[in-house]
Structure 1
């Protein structure tokens, strides 16, 4: 009896097999779970080739389902949030998924019989669900719009309405407002601002101090391009934005302008 009890306890402690993984999709009518097996068995599941994968930095092939097919009734005015198991929370307008410019979003599904390789440098897994894009340049899809380890996709209100403390005032300059758009696209998936945001991955970028308050502009610019240029930390999660395609110089200038602006507009709550 004692041996049987120990065996049962050991079984309960084992991790769930990959086929038991679930992705939860909430389009505003309650969350609907979809399992790995269900997604792989769909008639529209196919093999897609990604020439320069953001997570693996090489050619990758996936069994994937068109994301649009998993979001019936999605409308152009809506907003989506993609939440990963590690706390990453990517915010995207529905127009990115619905675009007719040639870029297509796919939900890559890790097959337990053919697991993906570990992510280089971390040993972590990108699965079981990963948002990948074919022809991403057609819609200016950036690296922050490729969330992996996906756990939840949900329709929410827009970022500006949900988090008013991160929004520049109407009198803010055009450059600051441009920087705010860059911030939402590139930073808000990992960081909060003025204590607002859903991400659990990185620190707040304004409380108690804004990075523009303790880093020289050239060091901060270099850090955003390559975090290891400021602090050598192999375990660091921030990947940086080294290329013009990932973050152009004009966008980086505007982002720094937004951060400097927010340093003077800290939340009081």
Structure 2
């Protein structure tokens, strides 16, 4: 400002020129400042977009790793079940045939007490072997289905874009409960995809001290029959559109002493509760 003040006292034309130059510089600086601000905004937008993409990729990688773990676990359980069935069908059949042959030999040699006694001991040994084999096969078959694995496989193939599973139970339910919960979840997800046109579903298993609870919720359309309180309290197959699938879910849960509830708010939800003392 000092040169401008001196110029104003000396030569007015020079002062005008200096003022124009300063105005041009100020305008240029303003333009540059705006460009810098826009560049910073663009950089921040790019950074935020990259962070979002990285987060999405990390979530996708996590889901893929979880799916791989579930597939590995499912393959191991399927192989265990196959071995159990082969033992049951192969060794079990042979031991059963041996018992029949021993019984036939006892009848054929009933006149020889010593031989009959030997055959009786063979029969007892074969019967113990058959019982042990059946117990082993039963134990293998009971562990042949993992609840978390089964639910995640159902969610992956149910036809709903986003089907999320939360099954963090530290103790796996008994095999009958696992089969029941998987069957209910399968029917609920199938109905949500086929009839409700759901885009998102939530499957949750909670392990309480006295009971297990399965919750299957979705954002699809609520069926007409579900709006009737009377049908929800006492569903009957075929009534006002109520299908056999819903009645089947209720029958499965009730066979284990549990209850099945259907909620329509805030979203359509199938709620299955199974007490532990009955399982």
Q: For the superposition of Structure 1 and Structure 2, which TM-score range results when normalised by the shorter chain?
A: under 0.3
TM-score of the aligned structures, taking structure 2 as reference length: 0.25
Larger radius of gyration: 2
TM-score of the aligned structures, taking structure 1 as reference length: 0.26
Ranked by relative contact order (alpha carbons within 8 Å, sequence separation 6 or more), the top structure is 1
Structure with greater helix percent: 2
